[in-house]
Structure 1
Amino acid sequence: MPETRELDLVLFGATGFVGKIIAEYLTRAAPAGARIGLAGRTRSKLEQVRSGLGPVAAEWELIEADVNDPSTLNAMVARTTAVLTTVGPYLRYGMPLVAACAHAGTHYADLTGEVPFVREAIDRYQDIAVGSGAKIVNSCGYDSVPSDLSVYQLYKRTVADNTGELTDVTLIAAVKGGVSGGTVDSLRAMVEEAATDPAKARLLTHPYALSPDTEREPKVGRQTDQTLQRASAIHPGLPGWVGTFVMAAHNTKIVRRSNGLLGWVYGKNFKYREVMTAGRSPLAPVAAAALAGGTAAGVATTAVLSRFAVGRKVLDTVLPAPGTGPSEKTRVNGWFRMKTYANTTSGTTYLATFEGKGDPGYQATAVMFAEAGLALAFDREKQSELTGILTPAAAIGDALTDRLRDAGMTIEVEPVR
């Protein structure tokens, strides 16, 4: 990448629901003098967004770009150090921008939770991005920053304390927030692709689907994201029950890819999974079972309906529409708390806590995503030397951790008994 470009950071998809939230956050978080661009298909809509952001954004560049016109993407990425893209589902619309950034040596971050998209990006553009010096960083929102950085920080603590390698690691998620139309549309796109392509369907269940080298992965037996058990099985004294975490199928693969990209430093017996708390009431086992069964049933139902035109019409009717999301009140009042318990080869157990305020899929994601873009644009000295198709931890783990702490999120690791 050239030492200087015209712009520091471009937000592609700035006129969408989540794009507007991220743009507003950037007006508060970007350093003074940051050269920001807002990009989308329609200039009049971009002007409307910019005018609503106040005087800070008055000089931000407006860029017309369309995924269906690669020349506009090439022109956009040639002008900037880094690009943030909210234009999804990424399986349908994301690959042209990955291609443009990989060829131009432009850093890139997205919000994908789509395993087949990440796998395709790796297969098609890893070598090109390495050659150009581009960092193509997937899953920089609630999918999968808390998961990825929690395990990364656990690893760093074991190194600092000389307590051996990580072995069994389990994240327990607790959240309060609304449902995203864009997230649902991404899930639907992934399920529809898998329903017609057996190879993509296998990616969804393979624990090392995103591995840089499956032959070097830890040989720890079967790993599954489906669960129903007492929380005390994870760590003695934990109350209640846990069930399947709907984001586990993607997050766990990102974390395992980070391990591989970093040279499998987490440990030769590193085993990772994610669950969701179901509470302590007498009905908690029922809730946990519903989490486990409901996730699988929902995916299966979507897959079946997606095979037929009438089924797709039904899904269009009952699912939240793309570009929609929870109310401002729901976004502000939401929160997330991720507790990750990790055992080590020395017998030490650690607890990583990653928590923050705001609806995780929107308010908190806007913070994570914007700070990831700012890290790519400005924190060169804190970035790893890795290039190619990367994860948040492998690309900007230290820089992003520092930024999110400064933004008010809690990220800490401590030994537990």
Structure 2
Amino acid sequence: MTERDYDIVMFGATGFVGRLTAEHLAKFAPEGTRIALAGRDRAKVEAVRGALPGTAADWPVVVADSSNPASLRALAESTRVVISTVGPYAKYGLPLVDACATAGTDYVDLTGEVLFVRESIDKFQDEANRTGARIVHSCGFDSVPSDLGVLVLAEAARADDAGELGDTTLHMAMKGGASGGTVASAINQLDEVRGDKAKRKVATDKFSLSPDRAAEPSGEWRDSVAVRHSPEIDAWTAPFVMATFNTRIVRRSNALLGHAYGRSFRYREVQRTGKGIAGRLAAIAIAGGLGIGFGALNLKPIRPLVERVVPSPGEGPDAQARAAGWFKAEVRSTTTTGAPYRSIVAAQGDPGYAATAVMLGESALSLALQRDECPLPPGLNGGVLTPATALGNVLADRLRARGFTVEAGRSA
């Protein structure tokens, strides 16, 4: 990569998570890291910069608009890494991915949209591989805990010569809410698949993000929609709202790594709700709420009522509520030798806001400052990658330094 003006450009700095990510960079980026803030309204971006810690006072402002390809090309050519929080990504994100892939610029975002990632792969995989651009989607709560959790689990089992991963389940416990951007993305995807059989097939395919669909093993679990008691954790579980996306990212990682997790690897995600009758009732409530919520969003006459009670894009909880949130992703697997293994990825802070800003910021810093140490899948020079395959243990170490738990080993 030729010398660029900046190490990182934060595109979408005026959005809620964009501001939080910029704040994280202002606090924790090493001295000398060249950072710029970008958005379509210079005055608004300058106002965000003015509210950041003093280290950001001299950060340049770049004016760029998702509807202006020339401005996106100039942005991509000016920096080594782009962070994008401008969604819904299916509506606004592809031109920036195009610009980064063409310019050989690394890119990270927060998307949880299957259709967007699939289109990104189809359109830009070859070009990004040619230029060496590392396009890394889903670097927040979607899907870093899932992707790193399975990666370190597989590595721990391999280091012990305990075999490959078999049946593997992520149990998510959390306190926090979905962001307005996440809700907007869900609405956009529901609208895209309505009446479009091809898109609906992609959205529901368990291996929709695979680089080679025909090579995927049979027997993979369906997405869990049931309330059930899990003997391995002695607790009740409910469907996890992000599972239908996260599982596709994890399966893409496995495929990009030559199915290093194992040919008998089967993966699902559920939400842990607790023990006893209270846990069971909570699981029933979550399952029912998800069904009603998505059903209501799918009915346009009712949708405005739902939109009144969920956050709008660009909105989020106050600092006290963000600090009170937390998540714990516990991944359990039985290997092909019959050995039980467990990994944990956990952090304090609202998952969709505070923790996500850390994960996104540290993903960008991984590429900006430690690119030579970051992994690449076998046979690739770049491309549309995943957190596990593009960032791996470099990101895991950076998150540990920021107070996250990322650990794995044999379980009792």
Corresponding residue for residue 391 of structure 1: 386
Write the distance in 1 (CA, Å) between the matches of 2:315 and 2:324. Answer: 18
Write the distance in 2 (CA, Å) between the matches of 1:130 and 1:203. Answer: 23
1:98-140 superposed Cα distances (whole Å, 9 cap, x missing partner)? 1110111100000000100000101111111111110000000
Count matched residues. Answer: 408
CA contact (8 A) 1:227 1:275 kept: no
Corresponding residue for residue 205 of structure 1: 204
Question: Are 1:257 and 2:252 an aligned pair?
Answer: yes
Question: Are 1:321 and 2:329 an aligned pair?
Answer: no
CA contact (8 A) 2:27 2:53 kept: no
Larger mean CA deviation between 222-231 and 248-257 belongs to 222-231
Question: Are 1:77 and 2:76 an aligned pair?
Answer: yes
Shift of 1:371: 0.1
**Aligned counterpart for 2:242 among listed residues 231, 235, 247:** 247
Shift of 1:41: 0.5
Shift of 1:286: 3.0
TM-score by length of 2: 0.96
Shift of 1:328: 1.4
CA contact (8 A) 1:27 1:57 kept: yes
CA contact (8 A) 1:178 1:331 kept: no
Corresponding residue for residue 265 of structure 2: 270
Corresponding residue for residue 195 of structure 1: 194
Any gaps of 5 or more consecutive residues in structure 2? none
1:308-329 superposed Cα distances (whole Å, 9 cap, x missing partner)? xx45544543432111111211
CA contact (8 A) 1:405 1:411 kept: yes
Write the distance in 2 (CA, Å) between the matches of 1:332 and 1:70. Answer: 38
CA contact (8 A) 1:140 1:368 kept: yes
SS at the partner of 1:379?
A: helix
Question: Are 1:350 and 2:338 an aligned pair?
Answer: no
Write the distance in 1 (CA, Å) between the matches of 2:279 and 2:363. Answer: 36
Shift of 1:221: 4.5
Corresponding residue for residue 67 of structure 1: 66
1:206-241 superposed Cα distances (whole Å, 9 cap, x missing partner)? 110101111211222442232321121xx1xx2321
* Letter in structure 1 aligned against 2:293: G
Shift of 1:345: 0.5
Any gaps of 5 or more consecutive residues in structure 1? none
Shift of 1:52: 1.5
Question: Are 1:401 and 2:396 an aligned pair?
Answer: yes
Question: Are 1:298 and 2:293 an aligned pair?
Answer: yes
Shift of 1:293: 3.7
* Letter in structure 2 aligned against 1:338: A
**Aligned counterpart for 1:282 among listed residues 247, 259, 277:** 277
Shift of 1:301: 2.5
* Letter in structure 1 aligned against 2:216: E
* Letter in structure 2 aligned against 1:8: D
Corresponding residue for residue 126 of structure 2: 127
CA contact (8 A) 2:296 2:302 kept: no
Write the distance in 2 (CA, Å) between the matches of 1:269 and 1:390. Answer: 22
TM-score by length of 1: 0.95
* Letter in structure 2 aligned against 1:85: S
SS at the partner of 1:191?
A: helix
* Letter in structure 1 aligned against 2:269: E
Shift of 1:374: 0.5
Structure 1 residues 281 and 61 mapped into 2: Cα distance closer, same or farther (>3 Å)? same
Write the distance in 2 (CA, Å) between the matches of 1:353 and 1:210. Answer: 25
Corresponding residue for residue 94 of structure 1: 93
* Letter in structure 2 aligned against 1:174: A
Larger mean CA deviation between 384-393 and 295-304 belongs to 295-304
* Letter in structure 2 aligned against 1:227: A
1:374-403 superposed Cα distances (whole Å, 9 cap, x missing partner)? 011111221123411110001011110110
Question: Are 1:367 and 2:367 an aligned pair?
Answer: no
- Aligned-pair RMSD on alpha carbons? 1.4
